[in-house]
């Protein structure tokens, strides 16, 4: 399904100006229909999958307990 730049910005949670810049740079593929750029929404599927994986990995890393420090000496 093709969407406009403003809808894509809303979908990605980015400013419209940034999405427009990405389209002009070729970082986001789009088709110009003579009046406006149209973006295929399906190209963001992999982006959201990778984002979810990164969030899960970060949560696991933050919840991992710290190992005991080997340099601590018990001096009683």
Q: How many CB atoms lie within 10 A of CB 75?
A: 4
- pLDDT (tens digit, 9 = 90+) per residue, 10-52? 988 999 999 999 999 999 999 998 999 999 988 988 888 998 9
| Confidence at residue 66, expressed as pLDDT on a 0 to 100 scale | 83
Q: Whole-model pTM above 0.85?
A: no
CB within 8 A of 15, min separation 6: which ones? 9
pLDDT band per the 50, 70, 90 thresholds, residue 7? very high
Q: Any idea where the domains of the chain sit in the sequence?
A: 2-63
């Amino acid at each position: 399904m093709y969407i406009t730049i403003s809808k894509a910005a809303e979908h990605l949670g980015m400013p419209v100006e940034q999405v427009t810049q990405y389209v002009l740079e070729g970082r986001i593929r789009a088709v110009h229909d003579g009046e406006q750029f149209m973006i295929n929404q399906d190209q963001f599927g992999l982006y959201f999958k990778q984002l979810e994986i990164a969030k899960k990995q970060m949560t696991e890393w933050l919840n991992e307990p710290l190992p005991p420090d080997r340099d601590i000496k018990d001096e009683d």
